A = this chain, B = another copy of it.
């Protein structure tokens, strides 16, 4: 089985973190690849940055998805995920969606630990759009400058652990999600140090992608995730144009 993870940001060091955790998490026999957005921003904190990342992800996915059994949008916030589910020929998930699925299986109230204050509003809107508001205990975030986006989890491990502990003690969290591709792998290294189960987006996404590919639930031929109706288009990147024109 082959799983493609697409980093919607341009930062190679984050792609390396994603790759490492994906490989640690994958089942035997699963091959994981990671692609990095060719254009965009260093990391996504806002709706506008997500708009840019969604478009870059769409281009990469359109070009490469056919060679894989499943695709993962490898940024928390899942830029472009629902859109891609309409057009890709294989199952697709994202870090937020997958982490919420895992957390849902581990407890009732979920807290998300994030890397910046600004990122919280975007995360909250994504969680709400998935209908998970009533499960969300809190979002807590670092409030200090990040020396390097790829080094956040090393630099701020203790602060992130403190945020998680406060989410349990003060917000009633039953489960913690360590959010954002830059934190990929941190759940693994904090194992046993947090008072509640802890979930990581990358490992959850890889495992759930494998499950979807294995269970073969079928593609949508009707409903809101079936292919968009055929219609004229103009000026789109080749891979996207081919995807829209591919036989139904």
Interface digits, A197-224 against B, CB 8 Å rule (1 contact, 0 not)?
1111001100110011011111111111
Roughly how many angstroms separate A218 CA and B195 CA in the complex, as a whole number? 8
Roughly how many angstroms separate A10 CA and B93 CA in the complex, as a whole number? 30
Roughly how many angstroms separate A224 CA and B220 CA in the complex, as a whole number? 33
Closest partner residue, chain B, to A100 (CB atom): B104
How many chain A residues sit at the interface, stated as a range, is: 35 or more
Chain A residues with a Cβ under 8 A of chain B: 10, 25, 27, 38-43, 45-52, 54-55, 58, 80, 82-87, 91, 93, 97-98, 100-102, 104-109, 116, 118, 120-122, 125, 128-135, 168-169, 172-175, 187, 191-192, 194-200, 203-204, 207-208, 211-212, 214-226, 228-229, 231-236, 240, 244
Say how far A243's CB is from chain B's closest CB, in angstroms: 9
Roughly how many angstroms separate A195 CA and B221 CA in the complex, as a whole number? 5
Residues of B within 8 A of A101 (CB): 101-102, 104-105
B131 touches A10 (CB 8 A): no
B228 touches A48 (CB 8 A): yes
Give the one of A27, A105, A133, A232 with max B CB within 10 A. Answer: A105
Closest partner residue, chain B, to A197 (CB atom): B217
Roughly how many angstroms separate A211 CA and B54 CA in the complex, as a whole number? 28
Say how far A79's CB is from chain B's closest CB, in angstroms: 9
B218 touches A192 (CB 8 A): yes
- Sampled A-B contacts (15; CB under 8 Å): A40-B234, A45-B229, A48-B228, A51-B58, A54-B55, A82-B108, A97-B104, A102-B211, A102-B212, A108-B125, A172-B224, A174-B220, A191-B216, A197-B217, A207-B215
